[in-house]
Chains A and B, each alone.
Chain A
Amino acid sequence: MRDKILYGMGLAALFLLGFDIYKIANFPPEAAQGAIFKIIFFHVPAAWTAMVAAGTALVCSILFLMKKDFKYDAIAVASTEVGLAFLAVNLVTGSMWGHVIWGIWWTWDVRLTSALVCWLLYAGYLMLRHAIEEPTQRATYAAVFSIFAFLDVPVVYFSIRLFRTQHPGPVFLSSTGSFPPDWGMVLLLNWVALLLLAIVMTIVRLGHEQTQREIDYVRRMAHAL
């Protein structure tokens, strides 16, 4: 039953993505920046998906600390990993855009820089988890770190933005005209597709986490005998 839901969601996501790509390909290129501007359809929703993932991780971390139920810890780690993947998509698409427009692989634009710092932050979360053997301690410490990390996200964004107002630099992916409404619709549809993909990936990762816990349990049993 669970597998059927997963397949269903996956198919829906692929269908939506196919539909969107067809529409995107048929949109006229943007005035100032050409065809590469269409990367925004993936660049921005990827970031939004990563934010949703970070929020989910925060909520589950708090729930774990309150209830000590490992299923919350599992969702927190799965969600963080998926969020990191989508944030990486955001960074790579941003880099590609910068290269096509300006010939450089990176611009210290506000959003891109914030995304990079947040990526490093949550990569630290995963590194912390890898370094702790004992499951309860790992889940507890990771949850505390996740709360600290989430608190930092808005602070990072606002401080980088403050820096950029004082030291202006190239601004990223701003269009010269207004964003046409049918483009907006496709953007949102794409976000839905990416969210579906994220949910599928999270559930798959949850299954992996469950298996890992069972292996841990059996290993400890074996050592005790």
Chain B
Amino acid sequence: MPIARELPDVAVKLAQADRRRSSFTRLVFVVMAKDLRAELRTKEAVNASLAFAVVILVLFNFAFDLDDAATRMIIGGLLWLVFAFAGTLVLNRSFARELPNDCLDALVAAPVSGATLFLGKALANYVLVLAVELVSLPVFGILYNVWFPFGQMIIILALGTWALTVIGTVFSALTVNIRLREVMLPMLTYPMLVPALMGAMVLTAQLAAGTSIWGESATWLKVLTGFDVLYTAAALALVETVLVG
């Protein structure tokens, strides 16, 4: 059957012509856009996350004596607890949204690498969690009269949120079809995040106290960056194993 014999060659040539369209960055963007579009259409995870964050911020008020300036500074560090918990609500959805209708199978079957899928999803999660954090910040500021210099705060947010996102997205893949997924994800993620959360908390608390993050606390920026780099590399290396086995 001559047609059949040539088909694969023709297909290969077409695929080579498509290489530009199939570049890594473009595919990552396609996956990220898909996740963002799906989430923004329902807004389930983002709304829950935001509501949760605001409630906890309000509850802080009952635990602390807010007339004490020192206490107000400590609360700056606690802000990261809020972000970590609220962020988990978003991260849980990450691979879980692929379960209905067996969409994960279709993604794994598609000619995209595991790293592409991971990065696309991680970036989508990053955007969503950052959005929740950026809305929480002014709420926090209004409620507790603690304000952060935005330029420095955005750096801490960028580094700390990426740590949360990288670990959370990989573990979302690890826990996607196991029992008690919503409980397992936080239980696995938080111990692993201790160094990153520690760094983010220290930096935020110091920023609230008026110390610049570029001063003697700059080492923590290095810790955060190192953590981000290390785990992004580990995740990119291992995600294919998780998705395909």
Contacts and interface: CB of A to CB of B under 8 A. Distances in A.
B66 interface: no
A162 B66 CA distance: 29
Contact of B184 (A131, A147, A155, A163): A131
B194 A136 contact: no
A144 B180 contact: no
Contact of A159 (B170, B187, B195, B231): B195
Given A128-B178, A140-B242, A151-B234, 6 more contacts: A132-B178, A141-B242, A148-B238, A149-B192, A159-B194, A159-B198
B80 to A, nearest CB: 14
A64 to B, nearest CB: 11
Contacts of B216: 166
Contact of B245 (A132, A136, A155): A136
Interface stretch (B46-54, B98-106, B127-135, B219-227): B219-227
B241 A140 contact: yes
A160 B192 CA distance: 13
B202 interface: yes
A148 B245 contact: no
Contacts of A124: 187-188, 191-192
B19 interface: no
A145 B188 contact: yes
Nearest to B242: A144
A144 to B, nearest CB: 5
Contacts of A149: 192
Interface string A138-173: 001100110111011001101110110010000000
A156 B193 CA distance: 9
B178 A131 contact: yes
B245 A137 contact: yes
A148 B238 CA distance: 9
B195 A152 contact: yes
A17 interface: no
Interface string B210-245: 000000100110010011001100100010011001
Interface centre among A136, A140, A147, A159 (most CB of B within 10 A): A159
B230 A147 contact: no
A159 B223 CA distance: 7
Nearest to A143: B241
Q: Which 8 A-B pairs have CB atoms at the shortest separation, nearest pair first? A: A159-B195, A120-B191, A131-B178, A121-B191, A124-B188, A155-B195, A131-B179, A144-B238
Interface of A: 65, 117, 120-121, 124, 127-128, 131-132, 136-137, 140-141, 144-145, 147-149, 151-152, 155-156, 158-160, 162-163, 166
A149 B170 CA distance: 13
Contacts of A120: 191
B194 to A, nearest CB: 5
23 contacts: A65-B241, A117-B194, A121-B191, A124-B191, A128-B174, A128-B175, A132-B178, A144-B241, A148-B170, A148-B231, A148-B234, A149-B192, A151-B231, A152-B191, A155-B226, A156-B194, A158-B195, A159-B194, A159-B195, A159-B198, A159-B199, A160-B198, A162-B223
Interface residues of B, number: 30
A148 B194 CA distance: 13
A148 B192 contact: yes
A159 to B, nearest CB: 4
A140 B245 contact: yes
Given A140-B245, A163-B202, A155 B178 contact: no
A86 to B, nearest CB: 18
Nearest to A130: B179
A34 to B, nearest CB: 33
A192 to B, nearest CB: 31
Given A131-B184, A163-B202, A156 B174 contact: no
A144 B174 contact: yes
A147 B191 contact: no
B67 to A, nearest CB: 24
Interface centre among B175, B184, B188, B238 (most CB of A within 10 A): B188
A179 B152 CA distance: 47
A66 to B, nearest CB: 10
A132 B227 CA distance: 28
